[in-house]
Amino acid sequence: MATAYHNLSDYDFNSVPDASEMRFGIVVSEWNHNITGALLEGAVKTLKKHGAKDENILVYTVPGSFELTFGSAQFVKSGKVDAVIALGCVIRGETPHFDYVCSGATQGLTHLNATQDIPVIYGLITTNNMQQAEDRAGGKLGNKGDECAVTAIKMIDFVCRLRK
Ligand SMILES: Nc1c(NC[C@H](O)[C@H](O)[C@H](O)CO)[nH]c(=O)[nH]c1=O
Ligand SMILES: CC(=O)[C@@H](O)COP(=O)(O)O
């Protein structure tokens, strides 16, 4: 339980660059909306804590985590954002479908990171049950949305510094 040793919301505030001039696209899956809504809340709150402006945080929903790749790709192609945060929650059911949704979404988002010029942040929670998801979406293990927001800011700063 790696997350048990590192709360998802714990980070060095001063290590995070100013986000006041950064533009973010957030793609949120509607599946398990009680979880993905909490992830979104954490991500937006954290982005704004570091200076991001409301008008620079674009939020679009997709039906499920398998559509996160398409939604993220559309944000990348739009040229309107400097990073994309993809938020989803896949909870294991009775069949192998869990494995295919998780691997499909993961492979798609990974492909975007390897082929496109802006970072796509992996905010997919993949759990065995709802309790594990709740623990990672504002529960005892923190909020994955917070982690994704910090990662997005740092990756935009990475790109900006490299391109100077
Ligand atoms: N079971 C979950 C899904 N399933 C839906 C797929 O993501 C996809 O929308 C569908 O197969 C149509 O393409 N999605 C989640 O995000 N979480 C789940 O637990
Ligand atoms: C991850 C899923 O698609 C899963 O929730 C579907 O449940 P089941 O495998 O019981 O059909």
Q: What is the DSSP letter of 163?
A: T
Q: Which helix (H) or strand (E) holds 123?
A: strand 120-127
Question: Has 98 been labeled as part of a binding site?
Answer: no
Q: Is 125 in the pocket of ligand 2 (CB under 6 A)?
A: no
pLDDT for residue 3:
73
**Closest Cα partner for 140 from 2, 4, 1, 38?**
4
ipTM given for this complex? 0.96
- Integer Cα distance of 155 and 84 in angstroms: 10
Q: Does 98 map to a domain?
A: yes
Q: Does 115 map to a domain?
A: yes
Place of tokens 């409301």: 54
Q: Does 77 map to a domain?
A: yes
Q: Does 3 map to a domain?
A: no
> How far does residue 22's CA lie from ligand 1's centre (Å)?
30
Q: Does 38 map to a domain?
A: yes
The pLDDT tens digits along the chain (164 residues) read 567 778 999 999 999 999 999 999 999 999 999 999 999 999 999 999 999 999 999 999 999 999 999 999 999 999 999 999 999 999 999 999 999 999 999 999 999 999 999 999 999 999 999 999 999 999 999 999 999 999 999 999 999 999 99
What is the count of structural domains for the chain?
1
DSSP secondary structure string, 27-85?
EEESTTHHHHHHHHHHHHHHHHHTT--GGGEEEEEESSGGGHHHHHHHHHHHT--SEEE
- Integer Cα distance of 145 and 129 in angstroms: 19
Q: Do strands 57-62 and 24-29 pair parallel, antiparallel, or not at all (unpaired)? A: parallel
**How many helices (H) and strands (E) are present in the chain, helices listed first?**
6, 6
Q: Name the 3-class secondary structure at 138.
A: strand
Nearest CA to ligand 1 atom 18: 90
Task: Give the pair of three-digit tokens for residue 156.
Answer: 């935009």
pTM for this entry: 0.97
Ligand 1, residues at Cβ distance < 6 Å: 29, 31-32, 63-67, 88-91, 101
- Taking the CA of residue 65 as reference, the ligand 1 atom at the shortest distance is 16
Domain of 67, CATH number, reads 3.40.50.960
Q: Does 12 map to a domain?
A: no
With a CB cutoff of 8 Å and minimum separation 6, the contacts of 55 are: none
Q: Name the 3-class secondary structure at 98.
A: helix
Task: Domain of residue 41: give its range.
Answer: 22-163
